[in-house]
Chain A
Amino acid sequence: MSWETVIGLEVHVQLLTESKIFSATPTRYGASPNTQAGLIDLGYPGVLPVLNRRAVELAVRFGLAIGATVSRRSVFARKNYFYPDLPKGYQISQYDQPIVQGGALEIPLPEGIVKRVGITRAHLEEDAGKSVHDRFPEASGIDLNRAGTPLLEIVSEPDLRSPTQAVAYLKALHTLVRYLAISDGNLQEGSFRCDANLSVRPTGETRLGIRSEIKNLNSFRFVEQALRYEADRQVQLLEAGGQVVQETRLYDPDRRETRPLRSKEEAHDYRYFPDPDLLPLVLEETFIDEVRSALPELPTAKRERFQSAYGLGAYDAAVLTQSRDLADYYESAHRAGAPDSKLLANWILGEVLAKLNRDHLEIDQVPVPASMLALLLVRIADGTLSGPLAKTVFETLWAGEGSVDEIIDARGLRQVSDTGALEQVIEDTIAAHATQWTEYCAGRDKLLGFFVGQVMQATQGRANPQTLNALIQKRRERSG
């Protein structure tokens, strides 16, 4: 029997605000424990939540970007459960009236297929704190700095059919939230966290199978591994005549398996009810219009524009538009006069990304400004620099040692196209390698490369390769 995997994802995105969703304490990551947890975050007696406008704006921005319905009226509810990292004994969340409903995300799949993944809802809620288990013997330490950080929980429809699709969805969502500047999307710091619901069913079956929920998927790689493991586990279970139990499972990246959550929790009963400390969130049209008018160009639109306006291929356009900063870098260089839009793309996708990767830098930390890259490409186009020399110059620019023309002059890298000077070097080379020259003249064409290489070496690479090639061939004709 063949099986179909059905996956829905719940992604918690930390919103980029200065202060918490219901209190005026900072959201900065990595502070000393409990130095960012104020009275409201700690659930002190009698303190009350007041909603952060910015968090609402960012949620609305997301809703508009995915073509969702932005609820004109949404309601905050309490989700009641006891956990040490949940100071009030309840989490303020949204339940039956979330701020964003419906909408979809288009994700690129291999072979140029684009899949539309439905978004069920996205709602605002507060984050919990953290427990640390390795600090004290037989005790856990509770750090509530993160408590109250605004989250947007984005719930997809069970539209995904493979772990690969799930990862593609997550990557598209990750790109989108950073585009929209609603989150820094930092996976290591927990700004972008994923839980998955997965079930399997015989191919052709329309009803959903019993699903398990998998938590602790903190990297795209883990998502793929965990979902593959879980799908295989369910299929094996069913094929052996067993049944899937609806449960929450934790992914263990070290053992590469999922296992049931150990806590002997009673069946959860969250007792949701509207939070009496918060009134209905009612959004005026003007508020929504303002958010809409400030929406940036979205990834799909930008990708299409990069293809049509710059004549780039689908792949190049997709990679360049994966982050807003990278796309901006490309366009800045283009505006600064980079002469060949495809060559520019090649340079960014090749040299720039490789060096960023090598030096563990992000594009917003790139040491070579876009205008400088543009000038470098101008120097290639006007014949001043050969391709290999340009790479040397780029390396020097990256190290922060001067401007393009300064480097060319200071290091004597200007390309030698002067025929007379080159002819002299060629004569010297022939004299030094007479045997090879004879063979070359006798028809061993492959030796052309040898002579080009020798001359290049003698000129420290400055010889214009086209000119050099032509001169050597002309010299053979004369010899012959």
Chain B
Amino acid sequence: MKLRSRVPELVAATARETRSALEYYRERIRVLNPRLNAFITPVDPQAHPATGAPGTRRLAGLPIAHKDLFVTRGIPTTCGSRMLAGFVPPYDACVVERLDLAGCTLIGKTNMDEFAMGSSNETSAFGPVRNPWNLERVPGGSSGGSAAAVAAGLVPVATGTDTGGSIRQPAALCGITGIKPSYGRVSRFGMIAFASSMDQAGVLARSAEDAAWVLREMAGHDPRDSTSVGLPVPDYVAALTRGVRGLRIGIVQNFFDEGLWPAVADRIREALSVLEAAGAQLIDITLPHLSLSVPVYYVLAPAECSSNLARYDGIRYGHRARDPVDLTDLYCRSRSEGFGAEVQRRILIGTYVLSHGYYDAYYLKAQRVRRLIRNDFLKAFESVDLLAGPTTPTPAFRLGEKTADPLTMYLNDIYTIGVNLAGLPALSVPAGLVEGLPVGLQLIGRDFDEETLFAAAADFQGRTDWHRAEPPGFEEGSG
């Protein structure tokens, strides 16, 4: 067993030596997790046996961690919130079921920003996660626990969700590969909702190859999710060898704005030249309405979340205030005690933009701009096959650096949010280090064209070593 084993190697190794991969990673979690706080609940491998028909078994024995937003039968599921501390669901998310059937073994539920609202993992009720590249830095969020765990080699692959960049941004800041598939590609059943029209499950892994192996099992139509599409799932693993030769890649000029650190811009330009050298054609593209992504998002995501989180009322499950004097007291105290400050802010913003007299000016207006943004992307894809740019404007920032000002935190997702508004697939691959911290190259694809993303990312990773870089202190044999 080697730390840098690829997913197919791990599966093959497990077939030879039963449970060796599991023991290897469980030991690393035991020793290394205390530095990172990447897990909310470590899971005993026997605790969550797969039920139902035997599945593909293509990932037999592969240890996996799920973001603690995927509901897991019999295993605590907190969504990073005090509201759900101690909540043990009697059902599994579709993603969990499918990966069980593929043969994965769940070894832990990862830490995350509370209800996926955050970009630094600092809103978790279970304490912040630390970036393995620098323990004083954030791992990004909201899938920060999954990103840190994979980057530090505590687990080979982990699931995440991405509503405004919550897979790609932490993947970039932790130096790993993260893919957010097309909206509708992966079932949202059992994925605790934040903003339903943007939430999408994906994978955090060391490489595009590993991510392809996992996404292939997660994706596909689920009749329990009305927004999941009936399209057949392409063989993402087969797409890995297609290469970028002949692809037209649009460089999103808007991303190279004044907020982007010059050193990050340099890494991204170097990465793009690698793709060019591999035979891709680079074309400058401007998306005229993209600059409005962040304000659109901070109308729509809070609007949806204010409604999605109304179910947490202390009656059927979840935190309940002690000795409520009346019904209003039960509601208000249960919710204010159960939710953290960021979640409450977003609920209030969402309540405001949907309320009488403001709906048209905020919610409806934002949905109109949302269409303009999607139309920009569709127009761009008439002339290019992929879009590219940085995943984040800066490398990982310090813990506490942006917590004082919510708005500064929001602007961290400036390059990732547009993709969620448009529903497109996108991934982030490591593109080098800035001041010893990883930065990510973001690739954006057409609707349901994850294959081209995998092809380009795998080709890039065949020509670069950034995805093999290991955070100091977490190398093989660390502990």
- Tell yes or no: A47 within 8 A of B by CB: yes
Other-chain contact of B191, A46, A89, A273, A278 (Cβ < 8 Å): A46
Interface bits B176-196 vs A (CB < 8 Å: 1, else 0): 000000000000111111011
Total contacts A-B at CB 8 Å: 96
Smallest Cβ distance from B344 to chain A, in angstroms? 15
Residues of B within 8 A of A87 (CB): 311, 315-316
Chain A contacts to B: CB under 8 angstroms = 39, 42-51, 78, 80, 82, 84, 87-90, 142, 269, 271-273, 276-279
Q: Please indicate which of the listed interface residues A45, A142, A273, A276 has the most CB atoms of chain B within 10 Å of its own CB.
A: A45
- Tell yes or no: B331 within 8 A of A by CB: yes
Chain B contacts to A: CB under 8 angstroms = 70-71, 77, 79, 84, 87, 89-91, 93, 188-193, 195-197, 223-227, 303-304, 306-307, 309-311, 313, 315-317, 327, 331, 351, 354-356, 359, 363
Complex Cα distance, B355 from A276, in Å, reads 17
Complex Cα distance, B304 from A115, in Å, reads 45
B226 and A43 within 8 A (CB): no
User: Do A271 and B327 contact each other (CB < 8 Å), given the known contacts A45-B77, A276-B197, A277-B227?
Assistant: no
Other-chain contact of B303, A45, A49, A142, A273 (Cβ < 8 Å): A273
A78 and B190 within 8 A (CB): no
Smallest Cβ distance from A28 to chain B, in angstroms? 21
Residues of A within 8 A of B70 (CB): 46
Residues of B within 8 A of A46 (CB): 70-71, 93, 188-193
A45 and B79 within 8 A (CB): yes
Give 30 CB contacts A-B under 8 Å: A39-B91, A43-B311, A44-B71, A44-B89, A45-B71, A45-B79, A45-B193, A46-B191, A46-B192, A47-B190, A48-B188, A49-B226, A50-B223, A80-B307, A80-B354, A82-B310, A82-B313, A82-B331, A89-B309, A90-B310, A271-B306, A271-B307, A271-B356, A273-B354, A273-B359, A276-B197, A276-B227, A277-B193, A277-B196, A279-B227
Residues of A within 8 A of B90 (CB): 39
B307 and A89 within 8 A (CB): yes
B226 and A277 within 8 A (CB): yes
Complex Cα distance, B194 from A277, in Å, reads 12
Residues of A within 8 A of B84 (CB): 45
User: Do A89 and B79 contact each other (CB < 8 Å), given the known contacts A45-B192, A47-B189?
Assistant: no
Residues of B within 8 A of A45 (CB): 71, 77, 79, 84, 87, 89, 192-193, 311, 317
Residues of B within 8 A of A277 (CB): 193, 196, 226-227
B316 and A90 within 8 A (CB): no
List 6 A-B pairs, minimum CB-CB distance, nearest first.
Answer: A89-B310, A271-B354, A276-B196, A276-B197, A43-B311, A45-B192
User: Do A44 and B317 contact each other (CB < 8 Å), given the known contacts A50-B224, A271-B355?
Assistant: yes
Complex Cα distance, B193 from A255, in Å, reads 47
Residues of A within 8 A of B313 (CB): 82, 84, 89
A84 and B310 within 8 A (CB): no
Residues of A within 8 A of B226 (CB): 48-51, 277-279
Complex Cα distance, B306 from A80, in Å, reads 9
Residues of A within 8 A of B315 (CB): 84, 87, 142
Given A48-B189, A88-B310, A273-B303, 11 new contacts (CB under 8 A):
A39-B91, A42-B316, A44-B317, A45-B71, A45-B79, A45-B193, A46-B70, A46-B193, A48-B224, A80-B310, A82-B310
Complex Cα distance, B195 from A363, in Å, reads 52
Complex Cα distance, B142 from A372, in Å, reads 75
Smallest Cβ distance from B374 to chain A, in angstroms? 15
Q: Which residue on chain A has the smallest CB distance to residue B330? A: A84
Complex Cα distance, B367 from A273, in Å, reads 11
Smallest Cβ distance from B211 to chain A, in angstroms? 23
Q: Which residue on chain A has the smallest CB distance to residue B196? A: A276
Residues of A within 8 A of B225 (CB): 48, 50
Q: Which residue on chain A has the smallest CB distance to residue B70? A: A46
Complex Cα distance, B354 from A89, in Å, reads 15
Q: Which residue on chain B has the smallest CB distance to residue A40? A: B224
Complex Cα distance, B62 from A281, in Å, reads 41
Residues of A within 8 A of B190 (CB): 46-47
Residues of B within 8 A of A272 (CB): 354
Smallest Cβ distance from B358 to chain A, in angstroms? 10
